[in-house]
Every structure is written in C-alpha cells, then in structure tokens.
Amino acid sequence: MKLENIPQAETPGDILVVDDKLENLQTIEALLKEQGYKVRCIPDAKTALEVAANKPPEIMLLDVLMPGMNGYELCRTLKARPETREFPIIFLTALTETENLVEGFQAGGVDFLSKPVRPEELLAHVKTHVELYRARKAIEDHKELLEQRVAERTAELHEANRQLRKRAKEQTCLYAVSRDIQEDLPADELLRRVVDHLVPAMQFPEITVPVIELNDKRFTSKNYTEELSHGLHAEIEAAGEVHGRLSIYYAKEKPFLIPEEQNLVDGVAKALSTGLERRRAEEELAKHREHLEEEVRKRTHELRSMVNAMAGRELRMVELKKVIKKLRAQLESAGLTPVADDPLMEMASGKR
C-alpha cells in the first residue's frame, strides 16, 4: 500500500489550536479553514485537556506561554495519557533560544513555529504532519489487519489438525507437515518433506507415490513415472485461487480406495494452502511496513531540515540585533543622533 493510496478523510485534517490570545486563534483559524481543515480553537490548557481526551485531533498547535499551565506542561500531560499521546504537537512560540527548543522536544513536541506565524510556513508544516500522522496510523491499521488474517489462517490450520488426528498414521503425518510449515522452511525443502511424510502415512506405502505440483514445479518421490495410475487429489489454494495440486498416484492398480486417505490428502492440502496464504500475508506485511516506514523516515528528515533552517535564521537575526544595538550605543556616545525612522535602529530597539 503506497502512501498516496492511504484513505483520506473528508477534510485535509482535524486541527486543535490552543492559545490564550484571541487574535492568534482567529488568524490561525482563518488560514487553516481557507485550506479546508477542520479547526477547533481553545483558549486555555484545562479545556484543551478535556477536548483532546473526548475527541483527539490529528494535530495540535500549542502556544508555549499561557497563564496557569504553560504549553510544555500541557504537552507532557497529554503525552502521559494513553488516549491523547498519539497525535503530534507543534509549539507556537516567539522563544528561539536553544534551551527552549530542547525543552519542547523533551516534553513531546515534534515541531516549532515562530510567532507571529507565517502563513506559508504554517500550512507547509501542518500538511506535512497530517500526512505523517496518517501514514503512521495506516501502518498500524494495516499491520493489525494482516496480523488478524495470519491469526485466522493459523487458527484454521490448528482446527484442521485437530479434526484429522484420528488415526495414528494420519496424526504423525499431519503433525510433521504442520511442524515444517511453522518452521518457515524454504518452499522447495518444505514440499520435499511433505512428500516424504505422506508415503508412510498411507495404507499401502510401498505403492504410494505422492506428487505436489505448485508454482510450475513438481515434487515427488523417485518412483514417479507418467504411467502411474491416479488415485486421490486435492487442490492447494490461497486467497481463493488455485495455485497447485496434491495428488496420490499408485505404482500398481489399487483394489479399493480408503475414504480416510482422501481425508488425509485434503487435510495436508488445506495445511499447505493455509501455510502458503499465511506466508504471503507475512511477506506482504513486511513489504508494506518497510515501504511506509521509509516514507515516514523521509518525511521526518525533510521536516527536521526545515526546523534546523528556521532555527538558524532566528539565531542570525538575534546576532544582527546585537550588532545594531552596539552600533547605536557607539553613535550616541559619539554625540551623534541616529536617523529617525531608521528600520535598523527600530529593529535594535525591539520595534520590529
């Protein structure tokens, strides 16, 4: 299952925004709703806890500096609760010092957006985290589905074995086949063993020649020839499709057929069918998990690069303000007056 095939909701995402400033809530809500997101705005941490527990969002945008419980404390509380620990939290803050970023990540946040928010940056980060959240959820859902299928097929195998444990020879044969299937042997080795198990399990092993035809290959004993008379057979299926056949041939004409032997052949074929389908389900699970986890790693790397670039810009701006402030002080000590409305001087004084 490719990432683009993950089922999408009717809206691009369900976003919970927590900020004690009404104007910030209104600005972010307008930007997100314009892109089709479902947005819920909460002005305080206590209410946010209740709302998130009742209906968890896909992403939370969380202000850091709030009265009472701040954003870091709220994040730690959410991550400590099973019902609210899964969705990602993006912090909204004007704090750019390294220790603030570290504290946010340690609290459980996955990203930072500087305030005031820049529309393009906000939408890009939200879109990326919605996709990552849904990708992770798709991995878990698909994993559960395939594991359920594996469990169902395994249960069928155990039930088939239980029903067919009536005669000593049948029991020995079926047990040996089931054991080999559970060992996850290479397919060719498994089928050769099944042929060896079938011969002594039949009523007349000296004339019995088992034949397994699967995936354009034939597995049989050394006594097989084209002239053998056909006695019993059963189809090997997986996912409702016939993939091969298990047959019992006889080196000479047999005076009569034994119904229990047909039951044994059916049981072995069913065990092979179940083992084949389980193996394919496990291979599919591993393949899909590897693909989706690679997508998650790729998106995570891209996001971290964006965060690092943003942090670098903010640090350079802080250094620039320090230089301008020092220059202003030198001008004033020299008796010079900075030019009015100079944008650089306004930056140093904190007006910009």
Q: Sort 169 into a burial class: Cβ within 10 Å, 0-12 / 13-18 / 19+.
A: middle
Write the CATH number for 173: 3.30.450.40
Q: Same domain for 7 and 106?
A: yes
Q: What average pLDDT does the segment 133-156 reach?
A: 85
Q: Is the pLDDT of residue 341 over 70?
A: no
- Report how far residue 139's alpha carbon sits from residue 3's, in angstroms, rounded to the nearest whole number: 10
Domain assignment of residue 93, given as a range: 3-117
* 317 lies in some domain: no
H-type helices in 166-215, by residue range? 168-182, 187-201
* 313 lies in some domain: no
Q: What is the pLDDT of residues 284-306, one digit of tens each?
A: 888 888 887 888 788 878 878 87
Q: What average pLDDT does the segment 55-77 reach?
A: 92
pLDDT of residue 4: 45
Q: End of a domain among 117, 152, 175? A: 117
Classify 310 as helix, strand or coil.
helix
* 139 lies in some domain: no
Q: What is the pLDDT of residues 309-338, one digit of tens each?
A: 777 777 777 777 787 777 777 777 877 666
Contact 61, 92 (CB under 8 A): yes
- Report how far residue 271's alpha carbon sits from residue 49's, in angstroms, rounded to the nearest whole number: 51
Q: What is the pLDDT of residues 216-255, one digit of tens each?
A: 888 888 777 777 767 788 888 877 788 888 888 887 776 5
Q: Residue 68 corresponds to which tokens in the numbers above?
A: 């009472």
Domain total in the chain:
2
Q: Is the pLDDT of residue 94 over 70?
A: yes
Q: What's this model's pTM, rounded to 2 decimal places?
A: 0.43
**Top-confidence residue, 20 or 349:** 20
89 contact partners, CB below 8 Å, separation of at least 6: 59, 60, 62, 75, 78, 79, 108, 109, 110
| Summary mean pLDDT of the chain | 82
* 309 lies in some domain: no
Contact 224, 209 (CB under 8 A): yes
**Top-confidence residue, 351 or 91:** 91
Q: What average pLDDT does the segment 173-181 reach?
A: 86
Q: Is the pLDDT of residue 6 over 80?
A: no
Helix (H) or strand (E) holding 127: helix 119-163
pLDDT of residue 9: 47
Q: What is the pLDDT of residues 105-142, one digit of tens each?
A: 999 999 999 888 899 999 999 999 999 999 888 888 88
* 297 lies in some domain: no
Q: End of a domain among 230, 261, 288? A: 288
Q: Is the pLDDT of residue 50 over 90?
A: yes
* 155 lies in some domain: yes
Q: What average pLDDT does the segment 85-97 reach?
A: 88
* 33 lies in some domain: yes
Q: Work out the pLDDT band at 143, boundaries 50, 70, 90.
A: confident
Q: What average pLDDT does the segment 41-54 reach?
A: 93
- Report how far residue 120's alpha carbon sits from residue 127's, in angstroms, rounded to the nearest whole number: 11
pLDDT of residue 349: 58
Q: Work out the pLDDT band at 14, boundaries 50, 70, 90.
A: very high
Q: Work out the pLDDT band at 346, boundaries 50, 70, 90.
A: low
pLDDT of residue 3: 41
- Beta-strand relationship, 208-214 and 229-238: unpaired
Contact 264, 163 (CB under 8 A): no
